[in-house]
Structure formats: C-alpha cells, structure tokens
Structure 1
C-alpha cells in the first residue's frame, strides 16, 4: 500500500491516515471547534482537497464538527474569516489529493533549512519573543510564520505560475521515505531564491499562528 501524507504526517497506508481523521471526527461532539493538533491535522487535510481554493475562500477562521448532512455520520465544516461556512469531505481529500497540496508540502521541505536558521538566529540574538504579542516564546511552542508579508501559499503559487504550472514541478516518488524533494535540483534552487526574495518571516506562538488565515 502507498504511503499517505497529511501535511508532514506520514501514514503507512491510506487506511491509517483515514483512521487518524476519523478519530477526530467521531471523538468530538457536534459543534466542537477544533483546536491544537486536531485543528492542524484537519487544516492540512483541507489543503489536499481538489477544490481547496474554493473551500477556503477568503480564509479559514476555524473548522468544526458539523451535523450529518446525509446518513448518520458527522462531517467537517469550514468557518471562513467572513463568517460564511462550507462543508468538505475528508474522503475526497484522501482519495484525490490535489497536486497543489503535494507540491506545497515539498516546497516547505525545500526551505526548512532556511526557516530553521532564522529560528536559531532569533534565539541566539536574544529576541526570542512573539512578533505579534511580545510574549516570551518557548522553543517547543514557536512557529516561524510568514504573517508579516505575503503568505507562503501566495509565494508558492506565484512560483508555480512562473514555472509553467504545477505539472511542471516534478517530485520524487511518494513511495520514497520522507516528504520528497524536487527532482530537478536547478528548479529547487530557483524555488529557494524565489522564496527568499519574497518571504518576510516572524515568530509567533503556535496558538497565534493557528489563528491567522493560511490562504
């Protein structure tokens, strides 16, 4: 069976990934606003939907457990930043993950070294506090965020357009261990240069980062 990824979470099979999602879906009462790691997982899952951009709309403010629309099982409902809501199928996300979400994941891997270097430079400089609230940060509860400039998705999508579309970015096989890499290393270098020219990084607590629209 093929390895399945949800964001950076690796599951040995699609069934195992589905089990992780169903644990959240059936482990919370209807109306629950997801938080913490549960929110992170389902938010990454939403990015995999082939209609993710339509589902996300103006941005995601939250995700909650919704009453059954058909049958007896609950579902997930996106609450957008403008107050509108829309449901999405986790099964669709796992069955036909969008190419955009797969490339986004690998793009994040390709810039991980640069983000880690930024994190460590702030720690060494003694400026390890939230750039939003000013609260001192805990190394285990810190997010390197794009909140002060273009969102990561904007930067990534712009690169894809410049390269000729998502199909023009070839990734290493999903059967390989690890999230993957760009096959064309010159293209990987172009991606890092594109990102470095546009990214404005900052530090937030994990909770602050979750509260900000991702796309």
Structure 2
C-alpha cells in the first residue's frame, strides 16, 4: 500500500509526515470502499488507488465534476418524487420503495450525451476550468452557478 501511495500524483502532499496504518473506508461517491492512510501525526487521508495507477486527465475530471455539481439537484428531485409519492420506475411504472431501491431506470438523455452537449457549448474540454480537488478528492467548476445552469439546460435539450 505504501508503494502504491507513492505513485499518487500528489504523493508528497498525501503522505506528509509518514503513514502509520491503512484502513478501508466508504468512498466519497457510490457504495464502494477505498483506502485511507492514517498518518503518523494522527491525520487521515483518503486516496484513490486508481489515481495512483492512472491519474485522471482533465477530460475525465470534467464529467466527474459535472456529476458532483449536479448531485444536490438529483437529490432534490428524488426527495420531491418520494414526498409526492411519484417515485416510480420509469421502465415499469411500478412504485419504488426508497429503502429497497437499487436501480431506477430513466428514459431520458444519457449522462454522457448531456456531458458532451455541455462540453461542446463550452468550446471543448480544455475550455472548462476546474478548481483543485476538494478534501473529498472531487474537482468543482470555477464559475459554478453559471456552469450548473448550462448543464441543466443541456439536459433539457
């Protein structure tokens, strides 16, 4: 694990004073688990083993930032449908129980298609400015309010 962490693009900042043990913790997104280094000073640093093996390109970071940025709207939509008892499968029309929902089918544009429309409207991936990664290892957009509006508009086209 120490050798793997040394391959991280920000290894010097990640390791700091040195690593004591490693732990496995829930990841910031999804239902997966990933490694966390407990540093000798007691601080903890979660890191992506995938980033250690293959640092994400700007082109890969842009859609990841889109997913991060729109998560509050996705959560609001879900909670609204749950509260109004309209939480049903778009595939079967059957009601979905919030505590038993694992997959919900959506008949609409794929996320990839929405992302590509957004990137085209921004004049390409290189024209999309991202912040440095947050403490949760997720980049965000600079000029966030305007960008989120463009993403939502791209989804409606």
- Would you call these one fold, judging by a TM-score over 0.5? yes
Rounded Cα–Cα distance in structure 2 between residues aligned with 1:183 and 1:143: 32
Rounded Cα–Cα distance in structure 1 between residues aligned with 2:108 and 2:63: 18
Query: What residue number does 1:8 align with?
Result: 29
Q: Which protein has the larger Cα radius of gyration, Structure 1 or Structure 2?
A: 2
In structure 2, runs of 5+ residues without a counterpart are 1-10, 15-26, 36-45
Answer yes or no: is 1:129 the counterpart of 2:81: no
Q: Secondary structure at the match of 1:154?
A: helix
Answer yes or no: is 1:191 the counterpart of 2:150: yes
Which of the pair has the greater relative contact order for Cα pairs under 8 Å at 6+ separation?
A: 1
Aligned length: 119
Query: What residue number does 1:118 align with?
Result: 77
Q: Secondary structure at the match of 2:130?
A: coil
Selected match of 1:152 from 99, 104, 111: 111
How far residue 153 of structure 1 moved from its aligned partner, in angstroms, is 0.8
In structure 2, the CA distance between the partners of 1:122 and 1:182, relative to structure 1 (3 Å rule), is same
In structure 1, runs of 5+ residues without a counterpart are 19-47, 49-90, 199-215
Rounded Cα–Cα distance in structure 1 between residues aligned with 2:28 and 2:117: 20
How far residue 130 of structure 1 moved from its aligned partner, in angstroms, is 1.3
Query: What residue number does 2:141 align with?
Result: 182
Query: What residue number does 1:101 align with?
Result: 60
TM-score, normalization by structure 2: 0.60
Rounded Cα–Cα distance in structure 2 between residues aligned with 1:117 and 1:164: 30
Query: RMSD across aligned C-alpha pairs, in angstroms?
Result: 3.0
